[in-house]
Amino acid sequence: MDRGRMAVAVVLTVVGTAGPAAQTGSETFRATATIETAGGAAASAPVTIVIARTTPQDEGQALVRAFADGGEAGLRRALTGLRPTGSVQIGNATPTTARIALDRPTDKGRLLTIVTDRPILFLGAGLPDAKAKEGYGFAVLDIEVDAEGNGSGTLSPAAKVKVAQGAFVVDEYASQPLRLTGVKREQQVPK
C-alpha cells in the first residue's frame, strides 16, 4: 500500500474505544519523530502526546455519522463544542489540541489513535513541487504501546480524512508519515 494513503485503524463504528486510559486518568507519552527523504537527508524532533480523555464509543459513532452525512464540514461541526481529548506537541511548538482519542486493545498492548482538528505541520510545503495545503485540515497520530507504555507509531502532521469501508482513511500531505520511535509513557495522573 502507498504509505501516502495509509488506512488508519480508526474503526469507530465497530470497536469500543474505552481502554485503560479511560479508567486511570491522563497519560503523557514522549517520542522522537523522524523522517528520512529519498535523498537520504534525515531530521528528528521530540514529540509530546497528552491524552486527557478517550473518545467514548457513542461519541465516535456520532462523529462517523456526521462525516458520512456532511463530509469534512459535517465532522468539523460535530467536533465543535466537544471537550478536547488532549494535545500533540512537536518540539517547542505550541501544543495542538486533539479532538479524538481512540484506545483499542491489541495483541501487543494498546493502539492509540489521536486526531487533531487542524494540521500541526506541512512537511515539504516550501518545495517547488509542493501540494496545495487546502483540504489537509487534520493531523493523525497512531501509537502502539505495550503494558508499560513503550512502543512506536506514526504521525501524519497534515492530512485529509476520508471514510472508506467504515474506517477513517488518511491522505498524507507529506510523501510519508513521520516515524515515532522510543514512545514511552511518562506519567499517569489519577483522576
* Distant-in-sequence, close-in-space partners of 125: CB < 8 Å, separation ≥ 6: 133, 173
pLDDT of residue 188: 63
Residue 44 CB partners (closer than 8 Å, separation 6+): 32, 33, 34, 35
Neighbours of 2 (CB within 10 A): 9
**pLDDT tens series, the chain, 191 aa:** 333 333 343 444 333 444 443 435 799 999 999 988 767 778 899 999 999 999 998 998 888 888 889 988 998 999 998 999 999 999 999 999 999 999 999 999 999 999 999 999 998 888 888 888 998 999 999 999 999 999 999 999 999 987 777 666 888 888 888 999 999 998 565 65
* Set of cell numbers at residue 61: 459513532
User: What is the C-alpha separation between 191 and 93, in angstroms, rounded?
Assistant: 27
Q: Within 13 Å of residue 190, how many CA atoms lie on the same side as its CB?
A: 0
CA atoms of 49 and 67, how far apart (whole Å): 25
pLDDT digits (tens, 9 = 90+) for 119-170: 999 988 888 888 889 989 999 999 999 999 999 999 999 999 877 776 668 8
Q: What pLDDT does residue 23 have?
A: 39
- pLDDT score, position 31: 97
Q: Where are the domains of the chain?
A: 3-189
Confidence (pTM): 0.83
Task: Say what the pLDDT of residue 187 is.
Answer: 58
Burial grade of 43 (CB within 10 A; 0-12, 13-18, 19 or more): exposed
